[in-house]
Structure 1
Amino acid sequence: MAEVSFQPGLMISDPRADYTLVDSGDGRKLERYGDFHFIRPEPQAMWAPHESDWQADGEFLPASDDDGGGRWHLNANVPQEGWTQHWEEVTFTAQCTPFRHLAYFPDMDPVWRWIRSNMEDMEASQALNLFGYTGVGTLALSAAGSNLVHVDASKKSVSAARDNAALSCMTERPIRWIIDDAAKFAAREVRRERRYDAILLDPPKYGRGPDGEIWRLEEDLAPLVESCGKLLDENSRCLFLTVYAVRMSALAIGSLLQEKLLHLGGTIEVGELAVREQARGLLLPTAIYARWSSGKTT
């Protein structure tokens, strides 16, 4: 039976070469992505900024309605096709996207490191990255020695992930690149009686599959986690689930993992992801998480 810890924890992304949260406040944040600085909306930055005059290469201005739209205002020196960045062994392209982010999620840094730490004594471990996006997390796990299955519903995202693998000189690594609806793929893997040592789940609030499938987090997360629980066994190591931008508690998704993964034993923990601001050391929350680990080593 799994041991459940509902004492919330923190996984903090500190300033580093590829990304730094420089300053934040008044509903915005100033970030450095490689050589460029950007300003983006951040409703949770309710405090006053450390500096009043931010200098940036671009700013995302949200739309006046609640539909989540908006557009970038960029200086001429920001490459429209993106620029090269690095995370440990991984080289990838960062880019200003229409969805206000920059083609990877730097606050996932401690998540990738945690999964790698759970797998470091294994040879040729099998890992599944659902909603794999542009593949930085997939490549981070692959670089540590895991065999990967990378799944995303977006053909464009999977193409970008393959390009990032080429930039990282990792095209020969054992990675399967799959364009598919994550829930359907996981259900098929259960029917195939496949198993994995680690699963990374980073689902959006809303999305569409390649054949028009509709993903709604509140409705579809529970059956997906149930499928994932069936893809793990007594020799598996970990599962990590992140949830962004929804009215949901870390305790709720922790209880979901408790129900669906109880048979695996091990430990379930919950908490928040956060980024440490460089200016004052303030912690800016970005997501909630629930994670399972077996505690096993070989």
Structure 2
Amino acid sequence: MAHLIQQPCLLQGEAWGDYGLIDSGNGRKIERYGSRRFIRPEPQAMWCPRERNWDADGEFIPGSDDDGGGRWHYNNRVPSGWNLEWNDVRFVAQCTPFRHLGFFPDMSPVWNWMRGQLADKPDASTLNLFGYTGVGSLALSECGPVTHVDASKKSVAQARENAELSGMEDRPIRWLIDDAGKFTAREVRRGNRYDGIILDPPKFGRGPKGETWRLEAGLPDLVKDCRTLLDEDSRFLFLTVYAVRMSSLALGGLLDEIFAGLPGTIEHGDLAMREEGEDGRLLPTAIFARWSRNGSPAGE
């Protein structure tokens, strides 16, 4: 049966050519996206910034309530979108109304980890739930066919554009506008299986037909269905959760219960990005839990 490692682990991202965490502190962070710099809120940056003055092209000013909201304030002219790349994947960055820039850079070590889990599995079939703009799906497509599911028509359209930008439009990727829970339940009834599943559920959301999603209520059943879509020959499930008052140990305990019948290892912990430069600090961004058949090398 799968073995739960109680001690939390850290999965940390490092800067790459088109992205870097420059500095953080006093509830904010400054990052570079290609040649442009942006400041965004970051409640977990409770320390003081290393640099006194931050020079940025724009800053997201949050709303006054806990439910989000806010607006971008620009110091320089910023285009509606510009191209970035991670390894072999090219994609569009853009300042969205939701404070992020069209992708999640702290997921970069996860993309590498998933590719490593599938390295010995030719033509692996994977499922990306809540797939957003498709950077993770394009990274996985190196390993075989991918099913990309997101409730947002706009996000799936952007994912298709990113595939064309990467020269990957002919790869075997199914781009589906669907409710993740309903789609996964149908896949269970169809008797389908996958070699790997990644899911990044929001705290709250709505499906394409007005379906309501609440994380604490919907996650257990969704993970149960994902478990049914995996078997002893499958390689991984990776679950990330942002912006909730929840411990990674709770996610690990959920996987420990549901994945009891499979071999392998269950781990949990924090995703974090390291600041650039000497003695760069680690900024936590999300919690995660993952099941892998073959376990994970130390530090990954």
**TM exceeds 0.5?**
yes
Shift of 1:210: 0.3
Structure 1: 4+ residue segments shifted above 6 A: none
Where does residue 61 of structure 1 map in the other structure? 61
Residue identity matched to 2:32: R
State the Cα RMSD in Å. Answer: 1.0
Match of 1:191 in 2: 189
Distance in 2, Cα, partners of 1:293 & 1:107: 20
Q: How does 1:82-97 map to 2 (within 5 A)?
A: 82-97=81-96
Assess if the C-alpha contact under 8 Å between 2:58 and 2:76 holds in 1: no
1:291 aligns with 2:290: yes
Does 1:42 find its partner at 2:27? no
Kindly indicate whether residue 246 of structure 2 is the aligned counterpart of residue 248 of structure 1. yes
C-alpha separation in 2, matches of 1:292 and 1:34: 33
The 5 A counterparts of 1:216-235 are 216-235=214-233
Q: Where in structure 1 are there 5+ consecutive unaligned residues?
A: none
How far apart are the structure 2 equivalents of 1:30 and 1:23?
Answer: 5
Q: CA shift at 1:76, angstroms?
A: 4.0
- 1:87-120 residue CA offsets vs partner (Å, 9 max, x unmatched): 1100100000000000000000011111100001
1:145 is displaced (CA, Å) by: 2.3
| Superposition deviation, residue 186 in structure 1 | 0.4
Q: Deviations over 1:148-180 (max 9, x none)?
A: 000000000000000000000111000000000
**TM-score, normalized by length of structure 1?**
0.97
Q: Note the C-alpha offset of 1:265.
A: 1.4
Q: What is residue 263 of structure 1 aligned with on the other side?
A: 261
Q: For 1:163 and 1:15, how far apart are their aligned partners in 2?
A: 25
Q: Which runs of 5+ in 2 are unaligned?
A: 296-300
Q: Distance in 1 between matches of 2:143 and 2:219?
A: 29
Match of 1:108 in 2: 107
* 1:64 positional shift: 2.0
Corresponding residue pairs, total: 294
SS in 2 for 1:64: strand
Q: Give the Å deviation of 1:242.
A: 0.4
Equivalent residue number for residue 33 of structure 2: 33
The superposition leaves residues 73-96 of structure 1 with CA deviations (integer Å, 9 ceiling, x where unpaired) of: 12443102x100001100100000
Code of the aligned partner of 1:158? V
- TM-score after normalising by structure 2: 0.96
Deviation at 1:67, TM superposition (A): 2.5
Contact 2:83 2:92 in 1 (8 A): yes
> Deviation at 1:293?
0.5
1:146 positional shift: 1.9
Q: How does 1:108-257 map to 2 (within 5 A)?
A: 108-142=107-141, 144-257=142-255
Q: Distance in 1 between matches of 2:18 and 2:196?
A: 26
Write out per-residue CA displacement over residues 16-58 of structure 1, whole angstroms, 9 at most, x where no aligned residue: 1121100000111010011110001111111010011100000
Quick one: distance in 2 between partners of 1:146 and 1:20? 29
